[in-house]
Structures are given as structure tokens and as C-alpha cells.
Amino acid sequence: MTRVEERRRSLRLSVIDGLLHAVMIGATESYLGALAVELGHRDIALSLLVTVPLAVGALSQLASPWLVRALGGEKRAVIAGVVVQALTHLAFFAIAWTGTSSLPLFLAAKVVYWASAASHAPAWSSWMARLVPARVRGRFFARRLWLYHAVLLAVFLGAGFLLDEARARGTVLLGFGALHLVSLVARISSAGVLSRKSSFGEPPARERSRLVEVLAQGRWRVAVFAAFLLAGAQLAVPFFTPYMLEELDLDLGEFAMLTSLSIAAKAVAFPLWRLAATRWGARPMLAVSGALIASVPLFWFASEDVVTLSVAQLVGGVAWAGYELCVLQLLMSDAPEGGTVEFYAIASAASGLTQVAGAVVGGLLLREGVLDYGEVFFASAIARGVALVVLLFIPSPRRPVAAIVARFTSVRPSGGASAAPVLAPPTRRRSRRPT
């Protein structure tokens, strides 16, 4: 097999791996919060189930260089992480099947789930950066992400239908258990697919980590922008769900519709963002998507009308599609040669920890009655807009920015973040004040 054929085969396998991952996310990860509620967890327990696993996940990314060295390569580290994550679905299956309300058991399963996913993510990013040539990254990732979100939407809706049917029959926990078996099969299949991918010129594992050197050598402007933007987003993102279900009293059908709109909009938008980034550049398009992301909470602040919220979900889906595509390409270009795993580990850990900070601050503001839902959404819009200053106006000297990141990553908070955490809503419902 020629090198070109080897690359093409590996890229096809990468798409298949992505689709299998989407099956897991749509079938179970999207419903982990719902499973916790079904088991009777409330308030403080729900907050712990979000913040502790995500904090561990954020920090575990710093262990990725060590895992690569210990296991003998990036490919092995990725496959090991995927297998461990797959096995956590057996724990979730047992929890759902038995109906146990043990918080320590559920928390332990979530901690292992997030840590196994996060710890191999930097190695996967380094592997993909080597596998996908820079000239085709936009086209490849736009296509992969489009297919990913199409499958995610279909599986998400299918899982929701199955759970509704199971609830009607009085067997909703068995429905959750069945979905975790589906995710187990999907994730184990991912490991099999990844094992067939070429490591594609993987350099030999180094004897020691180069975290300090990479801090000084990497280009950090995009990574710092991402950390600030996600912190601002997490002021509000965890509370959209309780706001819709508790404050607006939307039924599950309306909630599912709003959620599906965002996923569908992302799927449609990826090819369009790819064309725009090809024509005008990934960095300008990242700024445009960041501005759109900053505007989304304003819709939620301004109106409780379902039509307006639907527009917000559509704009949000389009905006986050542009962000995900452009930031992925730019980070792959910013990593210093020979230190890609360390670079992605630091960047991802920083983003994870800032998301924790945003979610915790938003939760405290709501719980202490300092702000209501609408005001938290407005504050999130401002914080997201401030992040654009980092991208557009702050110079990017390597060493000073690296020093800032080094100090930040020394913090050990008690909460964590990753995708879109759903914290427990405030214990006392508050009506929005008139604007």
C-alpha cells in the first residue's frame, strides 16, 4: 500500500470512528443528566455529578504525554482511552438496571468516563494533525463534522423516543440501560476501527514530558481566546435546560425540538464555514463565529417566546459550528513541532478549567440571588464578547502568554467542565425581572 493509499484509508476510518462516537454521545452522554434525575439525585448531588468529573477530566489531559510514553505511542494511548471509556458503560448499565441511587457509584463512573475521554484527547489531536494535511483540513473536518452531527441528531431523537416509550411502559431505567449497551458496542467498535488506522509516521516516544518547553514555544492566542470564550459561555450554558423546563414550563417535546434545532443547524453550517474559511481565512471566520456566539444569550435575555428561542438555537448552532471548525484548524497550526501532545494537553486543560470557573460562578450568582436567569444570560453575552478582545487586539508574544497559562494551570479547583454541563437549577425558582 502506497503512502497516499494509507492516508486515504486512515481518513475514511477516522470518519467511521467519528460516527460511532456520535452514536455514543446521542444515545447516552446527552442523557446522563436525565438518568441522574431519574435515579433521584437532586441539587447538590447533581452539581457534584457535573463539576467533579469534568474537573478531573480537564486536569487528566495533562497526563496525556505521560500516557503516550508509558504505552509506547499516541495510537496506543488513544485506543486504551477509548476502551476504558467503553467499559464505563457497563457501570452505567448496572446502575440503571439495578436502579441504585448511590451517589458515590454514579460519581465514580462519571469520573472514569470523563477522565478516560479527556486523557487521550491530546494524543488523538496530535495523531490527526499528522494524518490530515494542512491543505485539506478544512474540507475534511467540515465533512466529518457534518456527518457526525447528522448521526448525532438522528441518534439523539431516537434515544429520546425510546425513553419516552419506556417511560410509558414503566421501564424507563431499563431503557437507559439498553442505551448504555448500545454505547458500549459503539465505543468498542471505535477501538477496533482506530486499531486499523495507520499511526502515520508517529515519532518515537520521548523519555520525558516537554510541558515547560512547549509553554514557551507554542502560539497561544487562539488557545487563550478559546479558554475565555468557553468560560463566558459556561456562565449560562448549564442553566438553559433548567430555565426552559422550570422557568418557562416547556414540555419535553418543545425542549427536544429546541435542542434538535441547534444540532441540525450545526450539521448544515459546517460546509458553509469551510467555504468561508477557505476564502477569507480561518482566523477572521473564528472572530465572526465568536461574535455570533456572543449574541446568542441576548435572544434568551430578550424574550421568552418559543419562536425567538428557536432563532437563538439556530444562530447558536451555526455559530458553534464555525467556532469548532476554525479553532480546530488553527490549534493544529499553532502547536510547536515535536510538542503537539503537550500543546493540546495544556490548551484543552486550560479550556476545561475555565469552563468550570464559568459554570461555578454562574451557579453561585443564581443560587445567592445576585442575578436572575435573564441577567446571567446577559452577563454571559458580555463575557463572550470580551473574549474577542483576546483574539482581535491583544498581541501574542509567546513567553508572556505562556507564563500566564503556566500560572493558570497550577490551580486545582473543585469543579470541572467539558461539553455542556447541566448543573442543578437554583433551589428557589425566581421569575425574570422586567427589562
Query: Both 46 and 176 in a single domain?
Result: yes
> Is residue 306 in some structural domain?
yes
The pLDDT of residue 209: 58
**Which of 199, 230, 245 delimits the end of a domain?**
199
- Identify whether 419 is part of a domain: no
Residue 240 lies in a domain: yes
Supply 357's cell numbers: 470557573
Is residue 292, in this structure, part of any structural domain at all?
yes
Same domain, 168 and 235: no
Q: 143 and 265 in one domain?
A: no
218 and 135, same domain (yes or no): no
Q: Are residues 245 and 142 in the same domain?
A: no
Contacts 24+ apart (CB under 8 A), 78-81: 78/120, 78/123, 78/124, 78/127, 78/194, 79/191, 79/194, 79/195, 80/120, 81/116, 81/117, 81/119, 81/120, 81/121, 81/123
Rounded to 10 degrees, the C-alpha dihedral 118/123/124/129 comes to 140
Whether residue 164 is found in the same domain as residue 243:
no
**Cα separation, 136 vs 312, whole angstroms:** 31
Residues 288, 398, single domain; the answer is yes
Torsion of CA 420, 290, 232, 307, to 10 degrees: -60
Q: Tell me, yes or no, whether 434 lies in a domain.
A: no
The grid cell for 98 is 439495578
**Number of structural domains in the chain:** 2
CATH of the domain at 290: 1.20.1250.20
The closest alpha carbon to 262, from 30, 11, 79, belongs to 30
Domain-located, residue 431: no
Residue 179 domain flag = yes
pTM for the full model? 0.79
Last residue of a domain, one of 169, 199, 229: 199
CA distance 417 to 394: 26
Closest CA to 232 of 417, 432, 34, 4: 417
Same domain, 169 and 294: no
Q: Are residues 70 and 122 in the same domain?
A: yes
181 and 230, same domain (yes or no): no
Give the C-alpha separation, 112 to 109, whole Å. Answer: 5
> What are the backbone dihedrals phi and psi of residue 152, each rounded to the nearest 5 degrees, phi first?
-55, -45
Each residue's pLDDT, cut to its tens digit, for the chain (435 residues) gives: 788 889 999 999 999 999 999 999 999 998 888 888 889 887 567 767 877 887 898 889 888 888 998 998 899 999 999 999 999 999 999 999 999 999 999 999 999 999 999 999 999 988 998 899 888 888 899 899 899 999 999 999 999 889 888 988 999 999 999 999 999 999 999 999 999 999 887 766 665 556 777 777 778 888 889 999 999 998 888 777 778 867 787 766 677 788 889 989 998 999 999 999 999 999 999 999 999 999 999 998 888 888 898 999 999 999 999 999 898 888 878 877 777 888 888 888 888 888 888 888 888 888 788 888 889 899 999 999 999 887 877 655 444 333 323 222 222 222 222 333 333 333 334 444 333
199, 232, 252 - which closes a domain: 199
Residues 352 and 278 in one domain: yes
Q: Are 89 and 191 in contact (CB under 8 A)?
A: no
Domain that holds residue 194: 8-199
Q: Whole-angstrom Cα distance, residue 248 to residue 310?
A: 14
Please check whether residue 75 lies inside any domain of the structure.
Answer: yes
Tally of CB atoms within 10 A around 35: 23
**133/216 same-domain check:** no
